[in-house]
Amino acid sequence: AQSVTQPDIHITVSEGASLELRCNYSYGATPYLFWYVQSPGQGLQLLLKYFSGDTLVQGIKGFEAEFKRSQSSFNLRKPSVHWSDAAEYFCAVGFTGGGNKLTFGTGTQLKVEL
Amino acid sequence: GAVVSQHPSRVICKSGTSVKIECRSLDFQATTMFWYRQFPKQSLMLMATSNEGSKATYEQGVEKDKFLINHASLTLSTLTVTSAHPEDSSFYICSARGGKDYGYTFGSGTRLTVV
């Protein structure tokens, strides 16, 4: 069965420090991949997505992610974290022929220390 | 950009009553809409997928008679929680797929509390 793993439930970083949130997936087909951010009591905002092409994807708010097929990973990075980045981050995966459905990881709660 | 409007944002209802949640794509036609349920500090659980003009496809374990989904047009889908009970209290989020990049856009969610 397909699955998405975000191994880090909580991450705390200092403001200005770099950030990497991990996402691994288990799919038989070529996936399309997303990172979303959710503030408390809110819906999900798309940070970036990968469908095909360049495996390094740039997103909003200074985020980027790199698709590594050999590692089945799509890690999210940001070189310098701002206090406003504190939120819940979800990785999601779908694949062609999967009925358009996305499978979400369990999320990573990011805390930013000032 | 693609915008999905979800209403209401919060609703409190009495046990045994029904509640309807609307999800509208404002500036694009949504070929597919999805309904999710999210428990506190947990991930999103897909409840059902709906395509305009056809019956929704429910995920395993989701009661189709309790969670009625209607996708009557390319811009509107509704979720009705029938005979609501306290255990139905949750955060419900819709998502619509469509637009020029065929991406997924999420609504802002509905906090349902059944008392």
| pLDDT attached to residue B101 | 66
- Cα→Cα distances A8→A31, A48, A89, A106, Å: 22, 19, 10, 9
Closest partner CB to B44 (pick from A99, A104, A109) = A104
Confidence of residue A111 (pLDDT cuts 50, 70, 90): very high
Confidence of residue A30 (pLDDT cuts 50, 70, 90): confident
**What's the angle, vertex CA A48, arms to CA B96 and CA A64, rounded to 5?**
170
| pLDDT attached to residue B52 | 82
| Contact residues on chain B for A102, CB-CB shorter than 8 A | 34, 46, 95, 104
Provide the residue type at B33 as one letter: M
Q: Are B25 and B4 in contact (CB under 8 A)?
A: yes
Distance between B91 CA and the closest CA of chain A, angstroms: 8
| pLDDT attached to residue A73 | 95
Residue A37: closest CA among A98, A97, A82: A82
Stretch A48-73: mean pLDDT, rounded?
94
Residue % of chain A over a pLDDT of 90: 77
B56-107 residue pLDDT tens: 999 999 999 999 999 888 899 999 999 999 999 999 999 998 876 667 899 9
